[in-house]
Structure 1
């Protein structure tokens, strides 16, 4: 079983926005466990479906039993990490599950990695073009993958790779549990990793650990190849900014560059590590 003193936090946010990099850095701390997306989110949803109205077992499972069973998912899955005092579970759906997460783990924090949405789309499009002999599971048919416009607009749908976590994070950002949310801009993480990590440590109330930003190691080739998108979770060894020109047409880039709602400081209690963009 997990240690009685073990603390759970959560990593969420947009794809291609630094969650894998953040996990790789946190893993350097011997007290921490972090990784890419875990299966707990899917298991969590499956169990809630069984509990709910219309589910076979809903009428016979009490509220307290539901809480224990759901908490047990985390305890069971991370039982082998019992020597780690802090566990970060990653899933993009956690942004939309704050009421449940904070009921199960009242002291938990959610770190949401973000990036200008146009650059998120640019990053995915680059990976797609780098694998020209692979259709990838991101797209269901030729009408979705036909060209850059259909690909980007498909990814932006509310139930797809970018649209779903964007909407989930927007819910959390303006929701009543927003104070438990820390929004981390990828550009700032890549430009000033120590500054950002120190703020993360302060937010979760943990003592600072000296990280090595020149020797970061993380990759998940098996997962990426199964998805048909090689390089999705590959992290460069040295943390640094890598300026580049976008591969998106100007009108498409402009369309998605305006979706950074986390720049709205007045209407949310969320904590934001932000960087000012010129676009």
Structure 2
């Protein structure tokens, strides 16, 4: 059974899968792409709420035991000492996670927002004959309607962005470390050093020249091959955007974490 659990969260297309692929090189760690636990967590909370007539028999202490048991049973076969569970939803669950796992921390991967939109649009165009789960497998639309869809409150990007702000400005911000995609891809050693220091874990030498991760089956089922592809070598990808200039500019000032005046709780950023 794992001894400690931490969480990877943040924005889409911002390096969470790459970070997990690097962390799992450490034999003491278990990490992977986004999984089902956050959804199961929310479903259990709902079933134990007042909408269920039998909730009168359930107290908070019991709810907590059930939810802790969810993690323990899901990772029961994991031999690693430290588990990292990944989901964009964890940024909305910091108060609960702080109670269930007092020593846990959340690593939130972030990226300049227009480049997230650009990255998702590239995936859609690359898979022109496969409608994506990102848009409920609906074909058609324009780059503008697709950007509006992902940036909306329930969209892939908009939900994660709002969740990140909730955690960043909330009471449990001291549990949060922001890892910028730009740092992770250009200076992976510095980014990983910050992660280990934040978690209080002994240093480990990672191989950024040989990174291995395969989620091809999941991506194919989602109608978005390449969604979780991790290159074998960590490196920055300098390129021109494929977004129209006005659309790119629309998101250009959304990286709130880059403004020190908007960090009243002193969240660590690397």
**Common fold by TM > 0.5:** yes
Q: TM-score range by the shorter chain?
A: over 0.9
**Runs of 4+, deviation exceeding 3 Å:** none
Count of residue correspondences: 269
Q: Among residues 103, 108, 125, which one is paired with 2:104 in the alignment?
A: 108
Which residue does 2:179 correspond to in 1? 184
Please give the alpha-carbon distance, in whole angstroms, between the structure 2 residues aligned to 1:75 and 1:145.
43
Please give the alpha-carbon distance, in whole angstroms, between the structure 1 residues aligned to 2:268 and 2:140.
34
Which residue does 1:78 correspond to in 2? 75
Which residue does 1:169 correspond to in 2? 164
Please give the alpha-carbon distance, in whole angstroms, between the structure 2 residues aligned to 1:236 and 1:141.
26
Partner-residue secondary structure (3-state), 2:134? coil
Which residue does 1:218 correspond to in 2? 213
Q: What's the C-alpha RMSD, in Å, of the aligned pairs?
A: 1.3
* Structure 1 spans left out of the alignment, 5+ residues: 275-279
* Structure 2 spans left out of the alignment, 5+ residues: none
Which residue does 2:122 correspond to in 1? 126
Partner-residue secondary structure (3-state), 2:166? helix
| Cα deviations by residue, 1:157-185 (Å, 9 ceiling, x for unpaired) | 11111010100000000001001100010
> When the two structures are superposed, what TM-score results if normalisation uses the length of structure 1?
0.93
Please give the alpha-carbon distance, in whole angstroms, between the structure 1 residues aligned to 2:82 and 2:264.
27
Matches within 5 A, 1:125-144: 125-140=121-136
Partner-residue secondary structure (3-state), 2:83? strand
8 Å CA contact retained: 1:191, 1:241? yes
The alignment status of 1:153 with 2:137, answered yes or no, reads no
Deviation of 1:270 after TM superposition, in Å, equals: 4.7
| Cα deviations by residue, 1:63-103 (Å, 9 ceiling, x for unpaired) | 1100000000100000111x211100001000011000111
Please give the alpha-carbon distance, in whole angstroms, between the structure 2 residues aligned to 1:84 and 1:140.
35
> When the two structures are superposed, what TM-score results if normalisation uses the length of structure 2?
0.97
